[in-house]
Chains A and B, each alone.
Chain A
Amino acid sequence: MSRTDLHPMPDVAAFRRPASEVMRLARMGCSHPTRLSFLRTLLRRMRTEGWRIDRPVWEVDDRGVGHAVYRVRGGAHAYSLVAFAHDLPDEMRSDRVIATAWDATFTLFDGEPSPADIERLRANVPLQEAGRVTTRELTLARANRSVRLVRHVIEALSEGRQPDLKEIAAVGYLMRTTAVYGSGKFGAADRADIADRPELAAPFQVEMLTVWLIRAFTVDIVEHMAAVRGGVGAVRLDPAIRRTLGVGNSTGLGMAPFVVRHPILLNNWMMAREEALARVRHQPSATPEAVTELRRVLDLAIRNAAAWTSEHPVQVAKLGDLRRDLDLVSDQLTRWNTGQSRPWDALWRWGAGTLSCEGQEALLSLMLEPHGDLVDDLATTMGADEAAAFRLDGAMRVGDLRAVLADRYGWALAIDFTAPENVARFWYVSEEKLEPRLGERAIEEGAAREQPLCIARLASELEGTLRDYPDDAPVATVLLAHPEHRFMVRRAQVARFHPYAEVRDNLIAADMLPIDLLRSKLAFFGATRFDPRSDRWVRINLFQGAPYPDEIGSEGPR
């Protein structure tokens, strides 16, 4: 994405935060979902385009085993979630990627599956990584139940009563997904083959659609089991309670390298969000409607922060910051002079000078909420044609590359990589599951097979090699002698035109927190209730509070 793609008002750029501020890991680790988050984009499109959703197949037996199809028709295409419900013994239930069986498995089918498709999928989808799908499938996913909440809800509904709200609130979902694969994994359709469909152009739309339909399935299967057990005495889940249930998700280190491996995507996500903030700050005045909406979403955020729990010490401290900061914002709104010139910028500047990172990023999200008309078009700029940027420019002069390194990687060049704490970790891929992991260089084997995620050090090494070359030498000459720098030269050339492409912290430092990478990415998905269970894996919630398929048509755009 270039600036021209954004159609910016020329002086809006002055209100954009610099990458040196935005791309620090500590700040990325305070990210909040916004109205540009991918699940919000999907929900908006489904509402405004009036997508029709139904469940043409429900073949689930009294043990809760069988399959169902959820069909979505909107735009020029139909999509169908094919869900397989299983009877999983407790001892096999694991959220780890090493699991081999799940409570339910899913695929998003491109179109409407025939009975033959269903049988083909039945032979493969329940196996997940040990099966194969085809280019007719867009995603592959699985979910495990919250044993405690599912048991409670089935029991209550089967006895003709609604579940205990405290139990519902304590968990927040009936099932949690443990993987949602897209982009050609396990034989599925390549992203490039579907990216030109308007409804799938924004990132992760098939994955978000999959999870949203899984959410409907989790309620349906629980109501089904309650009906099996309670017969005519059973009741369905109260829609108001149902609304508070999202889909949980367990995510580990496997997700962290994505934002490093896809620098153009990362740039475009960040650029869209920062441009949105800049547009809001740039406005000369505040409409009463926008101010009212800000107060409304602030109240929601305060309630969300109160209900958001974690046992992880880092997150406990952040939640303390968030709650305090939201109260400060609430106080500030009573004093906020909405009649002044550029009142939104004044509010932002107050926040930047007063609030913690956690509160500032929350304020950003709140300030975007009332401004859909102003910022929602940016959602269309968040995809990336990475293949188009793959070919590097060998004619670039070494002097220019040096300048790019100084400008975009100055933070990296300042790091002393002879100090043990700055090379304390190494990213690698595990032999047993091909999943990314983080090792301790001093005590673990395997650093010789390090993944190229140590961008700061790679930039530093490239800069060292360039010292041997004159400014007017072409980069092609350097690469001919030093093929080991090809990876970093490509990145640097991307970063030249994509200011938000790089996380500006040392990803192999002793004190680096992988959960900060996870939080940033998950916020762009639209995840809430970020709950780290260690410094490298988390649980989150998706679609909590969002409409269900039977509700989405009756709601106004938001």
Chain B
Amino acid sequence: MTVEPLDQTRGDSTPFLNGARTAALSRNEVAALCMKAARGAGMSWGLAEEAGFAAAWLVQHGFDGPRYLHAYLAEAQGRAWSDLCPTVAPGEWRAPEGRTLCPVSLGATLCDHATLAEGLAEGCPLRIGPVDHPVLLVPFLATIAGAADIRIELEWADGSVCIGGDPGDLAGAMDGLAGSAALSLTARPGPARAPAAAASPPIDADTIAALNALAMRTTVPPSEASRAGAGSTASDND
């Protein structure tokens, strides 16, 4: 039995790993860790929830959502909302001059506008970008496709994938969406096919440690006052 004061509830990631280089995380752990990390990196609580959703969706479909999210957060933390927020207009959503869009904010905003004039309309390409790590956009596009029973053609300079199309296509496209890219989205008539659920990938130790470090920025160092009221101060040998 350990008396070491290090454990997962102290923000230490070692126990996740049991000495290995990777760990299997439940989707609940992925969502919680990524939500906290996104908040720690500066997202609003509501957008941080979207980050948790996106990472958990990716894991549920066999993709390493935590790694993609961390790659984005590591680059983008500290950027002001005005630098991340798209200019929304029918047919074209542009990034601020010289900037790239946040895929989580963009994905959430696309969902918000899904049934509005500025959103995706069947057969009308929507040019967007450039977008950082657009792989993180996929969970949002899959949500839109499923809700409206449409397929969404996602095209970039050297590739394309149909969200809601053949579930097998997604895996081949993910690497091409890991950098940053200008995108074109086109809604096509459904039916939408749901991407296939898959075994969760093992998450790399460095990814977990880095997300944990960001997550710890949402926490408050202890004080005597805070410890005092939290539980028993007397002996529990009663």
Contacts and interface: CB of A to CB of B under 8 A. Distances in A.
Interface string B104-125: 0100110111111010000000
A97 B9 contact: yes
A464 to B, nearest CB: 16
Nearest to B84: A483
B207 to A, nearest CB: 16
Given A147-B237, A429-B219, A431-B220, A392 B112 contact: yes
B10 A432 contact: yes
B220 A130 contact: no
B226 A130 contact: no
Interface stretch (A270-278, A291-299, A327-335, A433-441): A433-441
B230 A96 contact: yes
Interface in B127-154: 143, 147
B230 A536 contact: yes
Contacts of B24: 134-135, 187
Contact of A445 (B6, B47, B223): B223
Interface stretch (A161-169, A188-196, A236-244, A404-412): A188-196
B3 A191 contact: no
B15 interface: yes
B29 A185 contact: yes
Interface stretch (A87-95, A205-213, A373-381): A87-95
B222 interface: yes
B116 A476 contact: yes
A438 B229 contact: yes
Nearest to B18: A132
Interface residues of A, number: 79
A514 B28 CA distance: 26
B209 interface: no
Contacts of A253: 229-230
A480 B111 CA distance: 12
A440 B238 CA distance: 31
Contacts of B2: 100-101, 127, 130
A253 B229 CA distance: 9
Contacts of B29: 184-187
B7 interface: yes
B133 to A, nearest CB: 18
A192 B26 CA distance: 11
Contacts, number: 208
A429 B220 contact: yes
Interface in A414-465: 428-435, 437-440, 443-446, 449, 452
Nearest to B46: A486
Nearest to A486: B46
Nearest to A392: B112
Contact of A437 (B4, B28, B230): B230
Interface string B6-42: 1111110001101000011111110000000000000
B77 interface: no
Contacts of B229: 253, 437-438, 534-537
A172 interface: no
A250 B232 CA distance: 9
B238 A148 contact: yes
B157 interface: no
A520 B228 CA distance: 24
Contact of A394 (B5, B45, B111): B111
A86 interface: yes
Given A429-B218, A445-B220, A100 B47 contact: no
A402 interface: no
Contacts of A148: 238
Contacts of A440: 225
A130 B7 contact: yes
Contacts of A14: none
A434 B10 contact: yes
Best-surrounded residue of A92, A126, A128, A480 (most CB of chain B within 10 A)? A480
Contacts of B222: 430-432
B111 A391 contact: yes
A147 B238 contact: yes
A483 B28 contact: no
A110 interface: no
Best-surrounded residue of B10, B118, B220 (most CB of chain A within 10 A)? B220
B44 A484 contact: yes
Nearest to B147: A391
Contacts of B3: 92, 100-101
Given A127-B1, A131-B18, A486-B50, 9 more contacts: A93-B237, A95-B232, A95-B236, A96-B231, A127-B15, A428-B226, A439-B225, A449-B217, A534-B229
Interface of B: 1-11, 15-16, 18, 23-29, 43-47, 49-50, 53, 81, 85-86, 88, 105, 108-109, 111-116, 118, 143, 147, 216-223, 225-226, 229-232, 235-238
Interface of A: 86, 90, 92-97, 100-101, 124, 126-132, 134-135, 144, 146-148, 183-192, 250, 252-253, 390-392, 394-395, 428-435, 437-440, 443-446, 449, 452, 474-476, 479-481, 483-490, 533-537
4 shortest interchain CB distances as A-B pairs: A486-B46, A394-B112, A184-B28, A184-B26
